[in-house]
Structure 1
Amino acid sequence: MNKLCEFVIRYKKGVIITFLIFAVFGAFFASIVSINYNMTDYLPEKTNSTTAIKIMENEFKDEIPNAKVMITNVTIIEALKYKEKIASIDGVKSVNWIDDVIGIDTLTTTPVEFLDESILKNYYRDNNALFTITIERGKEKSTVNSIYELIGKDNAAAGNAVNTALSQKMSYSEVIKAFEILLPIILIILILYTTSYIEPLLFLISIGIAIIINMGTNVFLGEISFLTQSISPILQLAVSLDYSIFLLHSFNEYKEEFDAEEAMKLAMKKSITSIAASAATTIIGFFALMFMRFGIGKDLGLNLIKGILLSFISSVIFLPSITLTCYKLINRTRHREMIHKFKGIGKNLLKINTAVLIIAVIVSVPSYLAKSNVEFVYGNGSAAKASRTMKDAVHIEKIFGKENILVLLVPRGHTDRELKLCYKLSDIPHIDSVISYVTAVGAQIPAEYLPKELVENFYSNNYARIFLYTDLPEEGIETFKTVQTVLNTAAEYYNTYYLAGESASLYDIKNVVSKDTKLVNLIAVIGILIVLLLTFKSIVSPLLLLFTIESAIWINLSFAYFYGKTFNFIGYLVISTVQLGATVDYAILMTERYLTCRKELESKYAMEKTIDDNLIAILVSGAILSTAGFILALTSSNPIVSELGNLLGRGTLLSFIMVACVLPALLIHFDTAIQRTTLYRIFNVYYRKK
């Protein structure tokens, strides 16, 4: 540690230059990192829907459509011309319409009223043509813009690819917007808390450089998810800003007796342990995400772990260097202390501690039960309500109804069995029509006598493709029940079968993450419990701390149940780990200071002093993290990110309340048990008896 301190102080200018160089490279590499907006890409490779998608990509010329375009007031011939123009747009891999089902000759020579109504209604109604389109991944934004230019404002485009294009357009700008709002608020909070106008800027520069470097290192991962891009920088800032505050707080205490360099050495030695412990609890919470089978957990968890480690390194190496370099400027910009310690608040809080503790215990039980019964959603989130995307989706649904396509793949070569399966599938509720070779062309007509393009729409060398048109939403109880029914029906006729489509993928996500949820929470709790046991060398106090934060999490998550709302499973997983890992630091700080004071004072007076001296520090940290959450919710148009922001903001406030009001009561009421179960006390009693 001494060598690190001496190195930082001796080579402070070199350290600053090195970090700045890394930041420049980080900013460049961050700009070229690919962003993945498709949640289904993070499913395990061997899930049914993932296998179906791979088969479609390898054996069929057309993949599953991910967009719809509706052209109004057109004839069949005009619609075919539009199809050609859409197909020619860069990024459009395929365009499917009724001519791909019944053949273009039949379509152009047969009057509309004589066409099969069960097939026609999915493609052409009241002079409105509906095309299903496959847009190449990664090109959604440019391709959708070109489609808009072609179809104009009177026609409509909707679907996952269109939603993705909107997200691509808004995600980067929304992150910038969030920082534009968040940074001034954090600066104001820090200026009120510190005694210099420059110190808050140094805090933000230190963590800001760590964020830039972290985002740049993602270039080695190849790509990151849109969720990681949206929330990781803000979470890293809000969670790790405390590290800088801890260091400079110690520095300001020592510089009253020592010169600047000696004061920094002492501050680094004193604070690095507490900073490391704080970082460790946060990292464990994020590390739990790495155990998810659903890849989004690894993507987000790894990014946040890197971010916390880089923030830690920046706080103990870069921040001391730039602080000493700017020391004279810091002194010239001193101001009086604007927020004083809350003298007397400890005595007032302890007057109500027993009542608050009873209320907390009573509320925690139904909250735990409620959060366990919240319904999740598993999709990527819909488009912003005020956007053209949402309006177009409503327009299409108004004319063609709700349409959700599933694609069933079964082995080729059994036309009789395929026909029986199609008849059985058509009897399933919510399936409007079943389109396959045997239903659209006929089981008796050999494929050799038909155009190759028509046959390839239904058959590959190994598989037959059956399209199921449903009136179901993308997800929900009824949707998942139907998906399971389709799979069960296919199992009656074939040993091998695969189901693709947005609902099929979401069904697999649901099954995967239902197990991930329990595992992630268990690992996070056990990991942090171990850290607490090592920190306090006590059996009782870690359990009290965990109850304090976990009950705040239960109450936070129970809001959705009591308000009759659902929330995205990602919000549940992330907040369960982030709120635990980030806000348990408040409980650790409160408990450590209490145990220190307890050596000299009775429990009641020790707690009064602890609250008076430390509540303001916890309040500042909580205010920053909570503000970050609410601003994330305010600035994001993506429902997943917005929902997560609300959970983070509300959860931090609840954790602060529990630490300020409930934890003191627990520590006082269990004071005797804590003293008796502390490791050194147990050893002393044991050897005394011997």
Structure 2
Amino acid sequence: MEKLISGILAHRRAVVAAFVALAAVCAAMIPLVKVNYDMVDYLPPEAQSTEAVRIMAEEFDQAVPNATVLVHDVDVPGALALKDAIASVPGVDSVLWLDDVADLAAPLETLPAATVEPYYRDGAALFQVSVAEGEEGPAVSALRAIADGAGPGNAVAGEAMDTAQMQASMVDQVLKAVAIVVPIIVLLLVLSTLSWIEPVLFLAAIGVSILINMGTNLLLGGVSFVTFSVSPILQLAVSLDYAIFLLHAFAAERHRGGTVEEAMARAMRSSASTIAASATTTLFGFAALAFMQFQIGADLGLNLVKGIALSFVTVMVFLPALTLCLCRVIDRTTHRRLMPSFAGIGGPLAKVRVPALALVAVLAVPAFLGQGSVVFTYQNNVADATLRAGADTLMVEDEFGRQNAAVVLVPRGDVGAEEALARDLESLDAVTGVMAYATTVGAAIPPGFLDEGVVGQFYSDDHARLIAYLDTPLEGDAAFAAVQEVEDAAARHYGEFYVAGQSANLYDMKQVVAVDNVTVSLVAVIAIFLVVAVTFRSLGLPVALLLAIECGIWINLAIPYFTGTEVNFIGYLVINTVQLGATIDYAILLTTHYLRHRRREPARPAMRAALGEAFPSLLVSAGILATAGFALAVSSSIGAVASLGLLLGRGALISLAMVTCFLPALLVYGDGAIRLTTWRSGFWRPGAGGAGTSAPAAAADAAGLAPAAAPGLASADARAARPPAAAPSHPDEGDAS
């Protein structure tokens, strides 16, 4: 390690140039990273709708329509011409209209209304369009151009349009979130540092790691839209503390004397283990997302784990080199301490200790039960009539009803069973029409007598495809009940069948939510329990720390239940581990300070001193995380991202309250149990004559150091107990003081 530190500091300009060049290359790679907007791709492979999608992709040439084009004031010849124009759009795989299900040589008045009206009514034509995955943006733009060219008041709607809308707004929304987050973070950092330039160094170090993380996603083949939106903001919020720790350790080492290179080398050695331990705690929380059946969790978790690892590298390699290169600038931009010391905050907080303990005891059980009964939403887009996309969707629904298709795949061969299933589906209250060979063409007509293009809509070599059109929203009790009825109908006639479609996909997502939530939470809690237990060599402390954070999570997730608010299921699943992984360091920081003082004095004064030292760091860290969360909530129109942002912002503030009010009560009133379950606790006891620690621990305490193994979110922010460093005026000089 000594050679590595020496090499970094000796070649600091080359190190800075290398990281800047790598960040620039990765920034150029970001636009090339594929962003996946299709949540179906992240369903478990064994999910019924996933298998149905796979079969259709492999066996059927014509995909299920995912867009609709509505054109008013058009006759049948004009509609057929528009159909040809739509079919010629790059990215459009197929177009379905009335001529595909009826013989237009006959007058429309002689055709069944149930056949005609889903496609043509009152002079308006509705085309069912299949847009290829990945082509939604340009294809929808071209479809809108055709619709608008046919006259005013026409519309394009459907899943492909929703995806195109997300694609068009994704980058703008991320930039908007950054524009909100960065100024507030800079303000918080300016208040908590002693140099105007230090916040720039913090953001530069983490910013470089974010660019590298986002660019290297190209090597993974792409990321989900949730990861693309959330990961950079979350990485910034949770890893800034690593940079804060290193630079404050550097300031403390400069105060001890020697050259700036020697001070930085000592700071790197002393901070490496604590930053690594803090990062490890967060990593375990994020890594638990990989245990979700819904693989969007693994996608986000892997990206966050990679981001935290890169942040650790940039803080330990790039930031020291950059700091030494700009040392003169740091010295010339020092300012007085702007944030109050909060040294006496322990007194007022001691008065709320018992009320906090009683309040959490009363809320814990209802909160735990309430967070398990939250009503979820599963879509990411809700029609907004103020936007073109929302207005078009509502127009199509008003004139032709909801375009909600459920696709049923059954084994091919038994025409009688197929016809019986089609009739059963038509009899369901929620079904407005069924498109099947037996009902559209006629079971009596052999497929060999028809054009392959017609037959291919209904049959592959192994499967028959029926499409039931549901008059329900895409999600909710009515939609999921309708999907269940469709599955029940298929089960009466076939032992093997598959159901797909937007509602069927969302129904499958609903099935995995409860299992995923329990699994991921359990994995995260066990992993972090072990890390904290090893760190503090205690069984009682991890129980207290996890109880404080978990109660905060339960309260956070129960608020939507008690206020009657719906929560996007992705935000609900992810926040459990993200809030735990991101805020457990708050509890670790306070506990680290408390244990150091507890070796010298009773529990109550030890806690007052610990709160006075740790509160500024807790306030800044929670403020940064809350700002990041609320910025995502207000900047994103995507349901999953906005919901996660709101939960994250609120969760950070709740965790701050739990750590400063509830955790102190657990540590003080559980002091005896903690002492008995902590190996070589060394707690001060009356009559001991001094600190109850062993000689090495006492020496460490005397030096004002936290335990070497303790994670250091801002545990470096034991800086509150140290005098500010007097910075040398030249990078090669020793301490000027």
Q: Same fold (TM over 0.5)?
A: yes
**CA shift at 1:46, angstroms?**
3.1
For 2:100, the equivalent position in structure 1 comes to 100
Contact between 2:210 and 2:235, CA under 8 Å: does it hold in 1?
A: yes
For 1:129, the equivalent position in structure 2 comes to 125
- Please identify, of 435-444 and 382-391, the stretch whose mean Cα deviation from structure 2 is larger: 382-391
For 1:250, the equivalent position in structure 2 comes to 249
| TM-score in terms of structure 2 length | 0.90
For 2:297, the equivalent position in structure 1 comes to 297
1:149 counterpart = 2:148: no
For 1:688, the equivalent position in structure 2 comes to none
Contact between 1:536 and 1:678, CA under 8 Å: does it hold in 2?
A: yes
For 1:371, the equivalent position in structure 2 comes to 371
What does 1:217-366 align with in structure 2 at a 5 Å threshold?
A: 217-258=216-257, 259-366=259-366
**CA shift at 1:682, angstroms?**
10
**CA shift at 1:385, angstroms?**
5.1
- Please identify, of 371-380 and 284-293, the stretch whose mean Cα deviation from structure 2 is larger: 371-380
**CA shift at 1:44, angstroms?**
2.6
Per-residue displacement from partner, 1:54-85 (whole Å, max 9, x unpaired)? 22222222111111111112112211111111
Contact between 1:286 and 1:305, CA under 8 Å: does it hold in 2?
A: yes
- Please identify, of 578-587 and 93-102, the stretch whose mean Cα deviation from structure 2 is larger: 93-102
1:191 counterpart = 2:187: no
**CA shift at 1:578, angstroms?**
0.8
Per-residue displacement from partner, 1:331-368 (whole Å, max 9, x unpaired)? 00111110121122111110221111111121122111
**CA shift at 1:188, angstroms?**
1.2
**CA shift at 1:462, angstroms?**
2.1
Contact between 1:401 and 1:471, CA under 8 Å: does it hold in 2?
A: yes
- Please identify, of 455-464 and 116-125, the stretch whose mean Cα deviation from structure 2 is larger: 455-464
One-letter code of the match for 1:19? F
1:580 counterpart = 2:565: no
Q: Distance in 2 between matches of 1:116 and 1:462?
A: 31
**CA shift at 1:534, angstroms?**
0.5
For 1:661, the equivalent position in structure 2 comes to 661
Q: Distance in 1 between matches of 2:114 and 2:231?
A: 48
One-letter code of the match for 1:121? E
Contact between 1:283 and 1:305, CA under 8 Å: does it hold in 2?
A: yes
For 1:451, the equivalent position in structure 2 comes to 451
Q: Give the match's secondary structure for 1:95.
A: strand
Contact between 1:53 and 1:63, CA under 8 Å: does it hold in 2?
A: no
One-letter code of the match for 2:640? I
One-letter code of the match for 2:364? S
For 2:567, the equivalent position in structure 1 comes to 567
Q: Distance in 1 between matches of 2:92 and 2:547?
A: 53
Contact between 2:384 and 2:391, CA under 8 Å: does it hold in 1?
A: no
Q: Give the match's secondary structure for 2:101.
A: helix
Please tell me the root mean square deviation across aligned C-alpha atoms, in Å: 1.7
**CA shift at 1:681, angstroms?**
5.1
Q: Distance in 2 between matches of 1:87 and 1:96?
A: 9
**CA shift at 1:300, angstroms?**
0.7
**CA shift at 1:199, angstroms?**
0.6
Per-residue displacement from partner, 1:414-467 (whole Å, max 9, x unpaired)? 211211111122222311222211112221122233333322222222222111
**CA shift at 1:495, angstroms?**
2.3
1:118 counterpart = 2:114: yes
Contact between 2:35 and 2:222, CA under 8 Å: does it hold in 1?
A: yes
Q: Distance in 2 between matches of 1:387 and 1:550?
A: 40
One-letter code of the match for 1:242? D
Q: Give the match's secondary structure for 1:445.
A: coil
**CA shift at 1:489, angstroms?**
1.9
Q: Distance in 1 between matches of 2:551 and 2:643?
A: 20
Q: Distance in 2 between matches of 1:449 and 1:3?
A: 80
Q: Call closer, same or farther: CA 1:386–1:90 in 2, change over 3 Å.
A: same
1:57 counterpart = 2:57: yes
Q: Distance in 1 between matches of 2:443 and 2:147?
A: 38
One-letter code of the match for 2:402? K
One-letter code of the match for 1:223? G
Contact between 2:381 and 2:637, CA under 8 Å: does it hold in 1?
A: no
Contact between 1:100 and 1:457, CA under 8 Å: does it hold in 2?
A: no
Q: Give the match's secondary structure for 1:469.
A: strand
One-letter code of the match for 1:279? A
Q: Distance in 1 between matches of 2:170 and 2:488?
A: 40
**CA shift at 1:225, angstroms?**
0.7
**CA shift at 1:3, angstroms?**
3.1
What does 1:609-628 align with in structure 2 at a 5 Å threshold?
A: 609-628=609-628
Contact between 2:67 and 2:161, CA under 8 Å: does it hold in 1?
A: yes
Contact between 1:622 and 1:656, CA under 8 Å: does it hold in 2?
A: yes
Q: Distance in 1 between matches of 2:313 and 2:298?
A: 22
One-letter code of the match for 2:445? I
**CA shift at 1:297, angstroms?**
1.2
Q: Distance in 2 between matches of 1:419 and 1:635?
A: 50
Give the number of the structure whose residues are more often helix, by fraction. 1
Q: Distance in 1 between matches of 2:321 and 2:384?
A: 45
| TM-score in terms of structure 1 length | 0.96
1:26 counterpart = 2:20: no
**CA shift at 1:185, angstroms?**
1.4
Contact between 2:599 and 2:682, CA under 8 Å: does it hold in 1?
A: no
One-letter code of the match for 1:113? E
What does 1:480-491 align with in structure 2 at a 5 Å threshold?
A: 480-491=480-491
**CA shift at 1:384, angstroms?**
5.0
One-letter code of the match for 1:425? L
**CA shift at 1:382, angstroms?**
3.1
**CA shift at 1:383, angstroms?**
5.1
- The 4+ residue runs of structure 1 with deviation greater than 4 A are none
One-letter code of the match for 1:129? A
Q: Distance in 1 between matches of 2:333 and 2:663?
A: 38
Q: Distance in 1 between matches of 2:625 and 2:417?
A: 60
What does 1:203-218 align with in structure 2 at a 5 Å threshold?
A: 203-218=202-217
Q: Distance in 2 between matches of 1:7 and 1:534?
A: 32
For 1:139, the equivalent position in structure 2 comes to 135
- Please identify, of 485-494 and 369-378, the stretch whose mean Cα deviation from structure 2 is larger: 485-494
**CA shift at 1:177, angstroms?**
1.7
Contact between 2:383 and 2:391, CA under 8 Å: does it hold in 1?
A: no
Q: Give the match's secondary structure for 2:472.
A: coil
Q: Give the match's secondary structure for 1:166.
A: helix
**CA shift at 1:182, angstroms?**
1.4
Q: Distance in 1 between matches of 2:359 and 2:543?
A: 19
Contact between 1:383 and 1:638, CA under 8 Å: does it hold in 2?
A: no
Q: Distance in 1 between matches of 2:484 and 2:383?
A: 27
User: Would you say how many aligned residue pairs link Structure 1 and Structure 2?
Assistant: 681
- Please identify, of 135-144 and 672-681, the stretch whose mean Cα deviation from structure 2 is larger: 672-681
For 1:170, the equivalent position in structure 2 comes to 169
Q: Give the match's secondary structure for 1:474.
A: coil
Q: Distance in 2 between matches of 1:265 and 1:632?
A: 38
Contact between 2:131 and 2:139, CA under 8 Å: does it hold in 1?
A: yes
Contact between 1:166 and 1:383, CA under 8 Å: does it hold in 2?
A: no
One-letter code of the match for 1:515? V
Contact between 1:163 and 1:383, CA under 8 Å: does it hold in 2?
A: no
**CA shift at 1:565, angstroms?**
1.9
